[in-house]
Amino acid sequence: MMLAVGVVATTLLAVGALLAVVRIERGPTMLDRTVAFDVLTTALVGAIAVEAAISRRTESVPILVVLSLVGFIGSVTIARFAAVEPPKNGTAAQRSGPRPGAGAAGGAGPSAPGSVGFAGPNAGSGGSGVEPGPDPADVTGRKEES
Amino acid sequence: MTLVTDVAAAVCLLLGAFFSFSAGVGVVRFDNLLSRMHVVAKPQVLGLLLLLAGVALRLQDRGSATMLLLVAIFQLMTSPVAAYMVGRSGLRTRCVDPAVLEIEEDEFPAREAGR
């Protein structure tokens, strides 16, 4: 019975991990890939847990502790230092507002009414429009905050 | 007694694997960053907790049960933090379409006020 349970559970986990890999390949932004990578790490933890449960092996349990630690550190680090990406080939569908650099430099009115709050304070905090975008100010602001 | 715990462990393992699988499906199927973040934060953690419960039921060992409890507590503590970081970073790098938000808590003025 336990073997059949192991086969089914491992298959489900493997398909989930495969779908996460699909999202990592496809994901338009860095953060989508981070999220999918989180799913992949957790699927790996689950697979090791299933292995430990089926074969009643105690020594795989510390691997679970280490893996969950490392996955958290990775995703938080990427999310913390994610910068504004230039809209390349597939990213245009994900963002709606104008380019942050264009909004800060030209001062042109944003097209969508929802993005007024996005672009407004940005033009003030970003400083001059000489910079390509407000990402350096963004990153340093986040560093100051914590 | 062993049979009872084994059946409970099998149910936990299957349910946990199913939730993990559903997290993978959600990550592929959902169409914006915040929905994907949701599916990582909630079904994934529930699936992992069920898997860990299955392992603890199957191993019946005090030391490894403590370690599994540590993993569970750690996951419960860190997963909301990671999801929050991803969502905040998505708002700041404008990966999130503001039209998908029902309530837009204006992030940037709050950040300026906190400075």
In tens, the pLDDT along B29-72 reads 988 888 888 888 889 999 999 999 999 999 888 988 999 999 99
Residue A110 at interface with chain B, using a CB cutoff of 8 Å: no
What dotted CATH number matches A2-80?
1.10.287
What six digits make up the tokens of A11? 């298959």
Give percent of chain B above pLDDT 90: 38
Q: What does the pLDDT read at residue B90?
A: 84
Q: How far is A94 from chain B (nearest CA, A)?
A: 6
pLDDT grade, residue B105 (50/70/90)? low
Distances (CA, A) of A77 to A71, B10, B85, B101: 10, 36, 9, 25
Task: Examine the pLDDT at A75 and tell me if it is beyond 90.
Answer: no
Contact A29, B96 (CB under 8 A): no
B65 versus B98: the higher-pLDDT residue is: B65
Instruction: Give the containing element (helix H, strand E) for A22.
Output: helix A2-26
Lowest mean pLDDT among A41-45, A107-111, B76-80: A107-111
d(CA A34, CA A76): 9
What are the helix and strand counts (H, E) for chain A?
6, 0
Task: Examine the pLDDT at A69 and tell me if it is beyond 70.
Answer: yes
Contact A23, B78 (CB under 8 A): no
Query: Sign of the C-alpha dihedral, residues B12, B64, B81, A100?
Result: negative
Q: How far is A11 from chain B (nearest CA, A)?
A: 9
Contact A9, B13 (CB under 8 A): yes
Q: What does the pLDDT read at residue A48?
A: 93
- Give residue limits of the domains in chain A: 2-80, 100-145
Q: Note the helical H segments in B42-96.
A: 43-59, 62-92
- Mean pLDDT throughout A60-68? 89
Task: Examine the pLDDT at B74 and tell me if it is beyond 70.
Answer: yes
Mean pLDDT of chain A: 70
Chain B nearest-CA residue for A7: B14
Contact call for A8 and B114, based on CB within 8 A: no
B103 versus A146: the higher-pLDDT residue is: B103
Contact call for B93 and A75, based on CB within 8 A: no
